Structure 1
């Protein structure tokens, strides 16, 4: 899709025709201007997604990483099951942590109900460095039903794919892999962090993977710099 041939966003916004009870003319003018920007944002998200899909082949995965899941030991290649694409989220729940990262937990809680849908298209694995028993106990505590949790038995995967930070600390990581003609390759990984953050904003990727922030961004309060999700309230 070439955006040069699209109807200008302002024209589409003007055709929208939506009004809400008792709104002022000033509100409608500002809202239509915002709608045009939202249309442009949608188009930019799709441009970025097309550019991502067009990436050349990534690095070959030459190690057969080992994990342990609820059913026992499993290799990296087996995580694909019958799919050609594998999404791996690295959960900040390393052995030095008594409790997992609240932000990661909020994200995964939102994903849990989506897992059956995601698995219609791609394979999914949530990897952490704590023992599998500890991971499964927290899964039960949290009431998760579908998230496939795996323990990185050697830390090799976590180290190679940027889930271990300076000094051995946990880091969240999101990576996508492909299996084509028997060859497994890295397709894409999130690379937005502290060095790519804009002034006054928390480091985060785009699009944001957390539904929490998508909802909060639609409110007048927006994202508070001093508030983050907790494991309990």
Structure 2
């Protein structure tokens, strides 16, 4: 027998209307936060970042592809990985559908990872993705935008992630889900954790490029499309650990 509250349609409707008011307030708060994001100061990007893409070497400016705005998803795929992070992969599964809409609204969406381009291309074919994905292999881009750290920084601390300095890592005590994901990427947990997820936004105006926004960790929740659906399902996220897999790793049925 269910332990959940059972009620009449009238009781449900009264509770739903009360919830609707809270949802509307959250929407208003979300709109206000979006305006505050857009009001952040712009920081000029002076460094000449270089990337490898399907069309050859590219600069940060080239990634705009004629648009004035650029969104970059910092996809966890380090040089030593054999496959992309399962969490980033689940997020990226949604990119194909809306990247074309963004591109036709003056916004380019790219994924960027440190793995060499050939690895990204192979994994992209496996996943059936078509959105643009660039390699920052050998460059400073991931480190400057705080989504990668060196082995030395991992041991001693001092790197920044999610606007906090990371403490020295106790690499012997990384949690089991991290070890599970690392193994699925063909690497060990410390190596896996030298790359982190995030997204960054850029704008080009009067020939200059500016960094406008970055978010990390739980700040990516709203970009994780499946969770937006689960939050509306009867049992919510209903999870006790990392349950998701790459989309080609679930059992058929």
Normalised-by-shorter TM-score class: 0.7 to 0.9
CA spacing shift, 1:111–1:23, aligned 2, 3 Å: farther
Does the 8 A contact of 1:45 with 1:207 survive in 2? no
Q: Does residue 230 in structure 1 map to residue 240 in structure 2?
A: no
**SS of match in other structure, 1:190:** strand
Residue 177 of structure 2 corresponds to which residue in structure 1? none
In structure 2, runs of 5+ residues without a counterpart are 1-6, 155-190
Residue 68 of structure 1 corresponds to which residue in structure 2? 52
* Paired positions, count: 199
Partner Cα separation in structure 2 for residue 185 and residue 154 of structure 1: 22
Q: Deviations over 1:124-183 (max 9, x none)?
A: 2210111111111111111112x1011103230000011104527110120001111111
Does the 8 A contact of 1:66 with 1:154 survive in 2? no
In structure 1, runs of 5+ residues without a counterpart are 1-21, 194-203
TM-score, scaled relative to structure 2: 0.74
Does the 8 A contact of 1:208 with 1:214 survive in 2? yes
Q: Does residue 153 in structure 1 map to residue 178 in structure 2?
A: no
**SS of match in other structure, 1:208:** helix
Q: Deviations over 1:68-123 (max 9, x none)?
A: 01111111111112111111111101112122111100111111121111111212
Residue 97 of structure 2 is aligned with which of 113, 116, 121? 113
Partner Cα separation in structure 2 for residue 155 and residue 229 of structure 1: 31
Residue 12 of structure 2 is aligned with which of 27, 35, 58? 27
Residue 110 of structure 2 corresponds to which residue in structure 1? 125
Q: Does residue 174 in structure 1 map to residue 199 in structure 2?
A: yes
Residue 216 of structure 1 corresponds to which residue in structure 2? 230
Residue 81 of structure 1 corresponds to which residue in structure 2? 65
Q: CA RMSD in A?
A: 1.7
* Pairwise CA distance, 1:23: 4.8
TM-score, scaled relative to structure 1: 0.80
Does the 8 A contact of 2:114 with 2:136 survive in 1? yes
Partner Cα separation in structure 1 for residue 220 and residue 117 of structure 2: 31
Q: Does residue 104 in structure 1 map to residue 104 in structure 2?
A: no
Residue 27 of structure 2 is aligned with which of 42, 47, 54? 42
* Pairwise CA distance, 1:188: 0.6
Does the 8 A contact of 1:92 with 1:128 survive in 2? yes
Partner Cα separation in structure 2 for residue 43 and residue 131 of structure 1: 42
Residue 184 of structure 1 is aligned with which of 188, 205, 209? 209
